Amino acid sequence: MSGAEAGPEGAAREARTGAGGATGGGLAVSVDKDTGVAVLTLDRPDRLNAVDLATAAELVAAWRAFRFDDTVRAVVVTGAGRRAFCTGIDRAADVPQPGSPYMVDDPLATIGPKANDLWKPVIAAVNGIACGGAFYLLGESEFVVADEEASFFDPHTTYGMVSAYESVYLAQRMPFGEVARCQAARRAATVKAQSATADNRITMTAEMTTLTRELDRRLSDGIEVRLLWRPHDDVCLVAVSDARTEESFAIEVRPGEKPTDVFNHPYAYAASRPKLAAIAS
């Protein structure tokens, strides 16, 4: 790997063109050198962030690269879009298997950080569905933060397969009763975030922000306006806080709008102060 390709981003790119010349491009890697936080985003929203063989190789390469990158002190792993964190193996993936019925090759067995000897803190930020092989990632993360719309289930039993590793990982993250229901139900039993967080091993937040970065800030007449970028789903927001009324709100920049156009009009927010005060009262 050349100097220009060094680091986690380069390792992930190398993995994409590694085995078999695959170019899946299913993993987005970003590193904030100022904070020491890296973000891994499963970037296949059209496949509900299911992991194909190329993406599995990218994950392995990224985790192992982070071991040697001293500028990375913690990692956030999440999924693109709002529908799913990860739905396990991509059912369209062609996974060669040994001829013996007593052996099986699981391509997701080594996609987690601990399987790759990474012992830096990892936070899994769960949005939407997390099922099956997703638990290789959740089980090897130190912290799991779930959106209130998140749901967890294991489909193995539905397909006549043994629920094994996934259930063991689940048991480390949510109440045993919910895990047993997922494991024993013939049809995939879903555990909603409210149930999964009952014993506080998974943290639920009403508005999950995986890693929001401030791009710019300005102040006008006591109203602070910040331009934010949410890498998780590539959305820009304008956050407004009024020091006098202590009211605050955030506006997502809609498709077709320019973030800077929305951001560069703080006087419009100053004009709305009486309205904000009326809401507060």
Q: Do 166 and 271 have their domain in common? A: no
- What is the percent of the chain with per-residue pLDDT over 70, rounded to a whole number? 69
| Per-residue pLDDT at 111 | 95
Q: Does 200 share its domain with 223?
A: no
Q: 166 and 257 in one domain?
A: no
pLDDT for 62 equals 96
Residue 243 and residue 276 in one domain: yes
What share of the chain has pLDDT > 90, as a percent?
Answer: 28
136 and 234 belong to one structural domain: no
- Pick the more confident residue, 184 or 104: 104
Confidence of residue 20 (pLDDT cuts 50, 70, 90): very low
User: Of 205, 236, 265, at which residue does a domain stop?
Assistant: 205
* Residue 205 predicted with pLDDT over 80: no
Question: What's the pLDDT score for residue 281?
Answer: 41
Going by pLDDT thresholds of 50, 70 and 90, the confidence category of residue 201 is low
Task: Name the domain count of the chain.
Answer: 2
Do 225 and 200 belong to one domain? no
Q: Is the pTM of this model over 0.85?
A: no
* Max avg pLDDT among 66-75, 95-104, 211-220, 235-244: 66-75
Task: Examine the pLDDT at 109 and tell me if it is beyond 80.
Answer: yes
In which band, very low, low, confident or very high, does the pLDDT at 193 lie, cut at 50, 70 and 90?
Answer: low
Same structural domain, 199 and 235: no
- Do 260 and 170 lie in one domain? The reply is no
Neighbour tally for 85: CB within 10 Å: 29
Euclidean distance between CA atoms 235 and 40, whole angstroms: 16
Last residue of a domain, one of 205, 240, 272: 205
The whole domain housing 183 covers 3-205
pLDDT bin (cut points 50, 70, 90) of residue 75 is very high
Q: Read off the pLDDT of each residue in 205-219 and give the average, rounded to a whole number.
A: 61
Of 187, 205, 223, the residue that ends a domain is 205
The DSSP element (H or E) to which 276 belongs, if any, is: helix 273-280
- Residues 184 and 260 placed together within one structural domain of the fold: no
First-to-last alpha carbon distance for the chain, in angstroms, is 61
Alpha carbons 171 and 220: distance in angstroms, whole number = 51
Distance CA 163, CA 98 (A): 20
Residues 66 and 161 in one domain: yes
Give Cβ neighbours of residue 136 (< 8 Å, ≥ 6 apart): 108, 109, 111, 112, 115, 165, 166, 169
**Same domain as 191, residue 218:** no
Predicted pLDDT at 148: 78
Task: Report the range of poorest mean pLDDT among 155-159, 181-185, 204-208.
Answer: 204-208
CATH number at residue 71: 3.90.226.10
- Mark whether 23 and 152 lie in a shared domain: yes
Q: How far apart are CA 117 and CA 102, in angstroms?
A: 28
Show Cβ contacts of residue 116 under 8 Å, excluding neighbours closer than 6 positions. 60, 63, 64, 67, 110
